[in-house]
A and B are shown apart, each in its own frame.
Chain A
Amino acid sequence: MSATADGTADGAPDVTEGNASGVTLASDVGGTFTDVVLIGTDGQVRVAKTLTTPDDPTTGLLRGVEQVLASSGVAPGEVGRFVHATTLATNVILERTGVPVAFVTTEGFGSMLALGRQARVEEERYDLAYEQPDPPVPHTHTFTVPERVAADGQVLAPLDETAAARVADDIAALRVAAVAICLLHSYVNPEHEERLAAIIRARLPESVPVVTSASVWPELGEYERATTTLMSAYVGPVMASYLDRLGGRLRDLGVTAPVHVMESAGGVLPAALAAARAVYTIESGPAAGVIAAARQGARRGLADLISFDMGGTTAKAGLVRGGRPGVTHEFQVGGKGSFGGRRPGTGVPIKIPAIDLAEVGSGGGSIAWVDAGTLRVGPRSAGADPGPACYGRGGELPTVTDANLVLGYLDPDGFGELRLSPERAEAAIAEHVAGPLGVPVVEAAAAVHDIANAQMGAAIHVVTVRRGIDPRGFTLVALGGAAPTHVVRLAERFGIGRVLVPPQAGVGSAVGLLHADLAIERARTFLAPVGELVSCSVGRDRLGELADVLADLERAALVDLAVDRAEVSRSVGIRFTGQAHAFTVELPAGPITPGVVRGAAEEFYKRYHESYGIDLRDPAELTTARVRAVLPSGSRDTPRAEPAPDVAGARRVWLDGAFREVPVRARGGIAPGETLTGPCVLTEPQCSLLVPPGWRGTADDHGALLLESGTWPQKTT
């Protein structure tokens, strides 16, 4: 598999979604755990949780696939679809472990990346100590070529092929692993970019992708187009080789189903496309969690939700309002504001639609340590290897998970393939936390748990309070192995009175993937005044052009998805002539007529009035043609919980300053409609739910638990 510059999928197997009504496998590779879930023809969901194998994540993933196939008795050949979420692209960018990239642009603009747009954020602009960040590509790897295309697409100066060849030789000498090209106005005329790519490609090994900006994000604005292209080139080869290896190992196992990768906006892409347009997968894993939360909430009639996804290494929070996850259209790499960073002007922008969320680098595996008499948790994580002390896999340092075990919140019989050792956990906390602080072990553990809650709170804070949104009217949804242990305490911190714990919450993101639609969006800048499009004299040609552009985009989207047919929605960007910000307006199906354009303009006027309170009917213009192709996933039903025998028991659990004997139940044994009262602990193979005093919950017939605080509903003012 290789990432081709024009973004088309080469060699992708035929996707026939009809098969998806059969067996679907989904997997979510996190920093600590790899979750694999399978939904069979009967709607039953099987789950496997294995330790992530950081050196080669496919190893842990394949082990999970084998386990879940064995436990469900499904033959590998019966799997019709394999959906995958990976944090690979994010990690590569955040840890700067992508491949060396060369960047080529139009002569005169070699400083483009160094100059950037740098909207300095508040605290930086006051700072006499401000230091400029390094540009994403060093000057030594930046090249320019003589050529020029005008804003209307006309070629003003032909591409200097001799100079281009010289640049290609210089790039070849650098031994980079990818090349990004962004020439001025290529969004309207990509000829020079394509020709330059061909010249460079001819002088580089076949394994080195040459990515053009018009193939990644063909829209006006050279800097953002350049950085988006650059990041795609930077991550692409890593993603391609990973997916190549994954596909191979799945085939070795007998799983021949197509591999789909979650994209940041909540759809999924065929593997070949995910490699070619790697930036689209940047928030692959976290997006799955928010989509899952929205879906779970919808089933209970809850439209305002905060998804809280806590794994071993990181935790993420996302906001769902009115049933819809928030989507941003610009992601800041290396930015500030949260782990992963989204604050405008604080990093390198990538112009991709992405589910809006906040992330903190703290999870169950975060290591607790004492820094000059102060207890700290993280940011180092024990990850999967060596893992928390209680895993007994060589980890000596205490983690949040060790604290939770000491406090009685976790079942020593553990998660999936692991048994947890309370003795090791206690010893680690005693040596590294309680000893240095001079406090009893259990109090040290309680402090670690509380600090972890405060850190999780920071992610929720970013998506709510920081935006002036009161979280108290929202329902907190727990996803991820560590979330159920912390979620109710976290709700209490914010005065949130309602918590939803979906079935299989411990692998919630992977379950969300089962229902992700295959989807791709294609867009291109198309500048044309509405007046021209609807006038009978000159309109025909331009209308025809618009129809052609939309048809081209639709064809390209179907090729992307490797399908013949899909649900296609078309839209256009419209703005007042002279303004910069456009509204996206959907177009009806059918031929593009003056009436269709007029209707879109009317809709634009209406929405402009609603948004800004200005009732204006000035001349408007189209800016962008956009097509989204969606192939709905076959699996529509929300999975039911695995039936499990109810093992009622009791355990000593640390609550509010003392150990108390509280009931312990198996989550799967809770009958639909049954009411639970805290304090109690509900265990399941992947996680452990702590219900503190003052909370009660009911299970629905799908196994989802809705917990409510005794003081709910409360006044928020």
Chain B
Amino acid sequence: MAPENDLTAEILRNALCVAAEEASIVVVRSAYSTFIVEGADAAAAILDADGRLVAHSLSTALIQCASLRSALPHVLKAHPAAAMRPGDVFVLNDVYQGGIHANDLLVFRPVFVDGAPAYFTGTLIHVADLSGLSAGGMASDATDVYLEGLQLPPVRVATAAGLVDDLVRVLAANSRTPDKLVGDLRALIAGANVAARRLEEIIAEHTPAGLARGVAGYLAHTERRMRAGLAALPAGTHRGEYTLDDGHTVRVAVTADGAGALVVDFDGTDEQVPLPVNSGFSQTHGGVMYAVRCFVDPDLPMNEGCFAPVEVRMPPGTLVHCTPPFPGGGRFGTVAAAEEAIFAALTEAGGGVAASGILQAFSISGARRPWLHMSFDLGGTGARADHDGADATGALFGGGRNIIPQAEPIEARLPVRVEEVALIPGSGGAGRHRGGLGTRTVIRMLEDARVDTRGDRLHRPPPGAAGGAPGRAGGYHRQRADGTREPLGSKATRQPLAVGEALVVETSGGGGYGDPADRDPAAVRRDRAEGRTA
């Protein structure tokens, strides 16, 4: 028979996770951006007043929750807890204060115990549009942060009396799709409110002291398990690096003490660049947590207990920690490079890992009237020492494929037609184990439009490991009405696509592992029968 307090603690833990999950669902259901509502990608988290991550929503990309965690201390710095009032809601997007880039809005709401903020609920989505060079916030020629969009330090966006109308008017005035932007903002606030309401119910049921005790126990228990997992890593300093398409390199040294502590140091990483290639510290930190967690028990809950044993050193002014006024919007290439570098460091004894194709973003916007389709496709993952890579999944971003909208809802909403979404035969790198396949998506314009692209691992496709071949390089193309194709570039900005022309997005395949000559003949035959090889 389970001891009574164990059961209570477990109910409490689950109630916290359910509250975060519910907040995420509320945001998705009440948001307006197609990208969010059909792709179901909203992050939500519960934190305490010390900025510790207590629980987060599971259905979303993990590194977003790390950004919520990184940003909260900056909110508290700008708005001391003593100055907060029940009903206050804060918003920010500042990449130097834990944000990501202009379009990713982070919203926080304090939850009061005995008259003071004791917990915070937070939500985060990529909103439709918030100014900047290109609609959707994807301009790859934004040489500084101001060209990425409107900058928001932590500011109060709502009080118990409702929205702060003056601020909302400024936001709306800076959006190409003001109605959708305000709708998305309301959705973020609704999500934070719902989680706050659940938290208040939990406090009422378990008492403030009971909740505090439960949270402390939960985080401590997670930390013990995390340390036990990290203690199994080979002691010593391990080095790894990964080079982006433009030649810039992320370098990392991972030092394990063999007793459960880890230092991840990006000293030696190339300097930041005046283009949206860099990452803000919060997204890099999220990527580090993702990569490190691949080496511990995958069932561990994601909370402060996972963060505590890992010290992350991100030298300011480098690719992994941009400083003013360097932009941070193109961070996923850099974050994915940081992740691969950590994989390389921690697997150096075992022959390394084959690299994966990554998320390749694009946005299509109306040339004559405001409409926006922002989405991304996913590359194949690298093969592993004992199995083939997975086809087209968002491994390094910590998400899955369901962040990609289906064709029918896109066509029901926007003046485009999706003509093809297909795996590319032969795109997985050859090896004893084959890399996962990339995809091809063809989207035909029904109105004149402009397109922005943002990809990486296209000029330097994901390398294989232990003798495996790299995956096939993907790319972005314009397909003319007569069928001819021309490359658009991996960081194209506002390229015209006339009615009748199509955008072709091809993602890179994952690298192979081991000598292709050693591949099991049965696997070779199966690949051919299933159309995985040409």
Contacts and interface: CB of A to CB of B under 8 A. Distances in A.
Interface of A: 108-112, 114-132, 138-140, 150-151, 156, 184-185, 220-223, 344-345, 465-470, 492-495, 527, 576, 578-581, 608, 611-614, 616, 618, 717
- Nearest 4 CB-CB pairs, A to B? A468-B15, A108-B420, A580-B37, A581-B29
Contact of B395 (A109, A111, A125, A140): A125
B37 A465 contact: no
A118 B395 CA distance: 11
A108 B422 contact: yes
A138 B419 contact: no
- Choose among A126, A128, A156 the residue with the greatest number of B CB atoms under 10 Å from its CB: A126
B232 interface: no
B32 A579 contact: yes
Contacts of A465: 7, 10-11, 14
B160 to A, nearest CB: 12
Given A128-B294, A139-B530, A581-B28, A345 B59 contact: yes
Nearest to A615: B162
B420 A109 contact: yes
A507 to B, nearest CB: 29
A139 B531 CA distance: 7
Nearest to A582: B29
A495 B6 CA distance: 12
B364 interface: no
B186 interface: yes
B26 A612 contact: yes
Given A111-B422, A122-B58, A132 B390 contact: yes
A580 B29 contact: yes
Interface in B242-282: none
Nearest to A611: B26
Interface in B180-201: 180, 183, 186-187, 189-190, 193-194, 197
Contacts of A151: 408, 411-412
A222 B294 contact: no
B37 A581 contact: yes
Contact of A126 (B179, B298, B411): B298
A131 B402 CA distance: 17
B393 A132 contact: yes
A222 B408 CA distance: 6
B58 A139 contact: no
16 contacts: A112-B421, A115-B401, A120-B400, A125-B395, A223-B406, A465-B10, A467-B18, A468-B14, A495-B7, A578-B183, A578-B413, A580-B409, A581-B30, A611-B26, A612-B26, A717-B8
Interface residues of B, number: 89
A281 to B, nearest CB: 27
A469 to B, nearest CB: 7
Contacts of A467: 14, 18
B62 A125 contact: yes
A98 to B, nearest CB: 20
Interface in B401-449: 401-402, 404, 406-409, 411-413, 417-423, 436, 439, 442
B14 A466 contact: yes
A609 B11 CA distance: 28
B393 A118 contact: yes
Interface in B298-320: 298-299, 302
Contacts, number: 189
Given A465-B7, A717-B8, A220 B190 contact: no
Nearest to A116: B401
Given A115-B439, A612-B26, A130 B183 contact: no
Nearest to B424: A111
Nearest to B410: A151
Given A495-B7, A612-B26, 9 more contacts: A119-B59, A122-B299, A132-B390, A184-B407, A493-B1, A576-B30, A579-B29, A614-B190, A717-B205
A389 B444 CA distance: 67
B529 A125 contact: no
Given A126-B293, A126-B298, A115 B29 contact: no
B17 interface: yes
A613 B187 CA distance: 10
B207 interface: yes
A123 B299 contact: yes
B114 interface: no
A457 B439 CA distance: 44
A29 B21 CA distance: 37
Contacts of A132: 390-391, 393, 436
Contacts of A580: 28-29, 37-38, 409
Given A220-B408, A581-B29, A717-B206, A109 B421 contact: yes
A469 B189 CA distance: 25
Nearest to A129: B384
Nearest to A130: B390
B74 to A, nearest CB: 26
A139 B386 CA distance: 23
A518 to B, nearest CB: 33
B31 interface: yes
Nearest to A467: B18
A494 B187 CA distance: 37
B26 A222 contact: no
Given A123-B298, A527-B412, A613-B193, A114 B29 contact: no
B359 interface: no
Nearest to B180: A578
Interface in B17-62: 17-19, 26, 28-32, 34, 37-38, 40, 58-59, 62
A470 B29 contact: no
Contacts of B4: 495
A222 to B, nearest CB: 5
Contact of B30 (A109, A122, A220, A614): A614
Nearest to B41: A119
B398 interface: yes
A717 B7 CA distance: 10
A612 B25 CA distance: 10
Nearest to B186: A614
B392 interface: yes
B3 to A, nearest CB: 10
B390 A131 contact: yes
Nearest to B289: A126
- Choose among B31, B390, B413 the residue with the greatest number of A CB atoms under 10 Å from its CB: B390
B343 interface: yes
A126 B61 CA distance: 11
Given A114-B423, A128-B343, A132-B393, A139 B529 contact: yes
A129 B480 CA distance: 41
Given A580-B409, A618-B183, A128 B422 contact: no
Contact of B400 (A110, A118, A493): A118
Contacts of B392: 115
A104 to B, nearest CB: 15
Given A108-B420, A109-B422, A119-B400, A130 B395 contact: yes
Contacts of B180: 578
A340 to B, nearest CB: 20
A109 B417 CA distance: 13
B398 A125 contact: yes
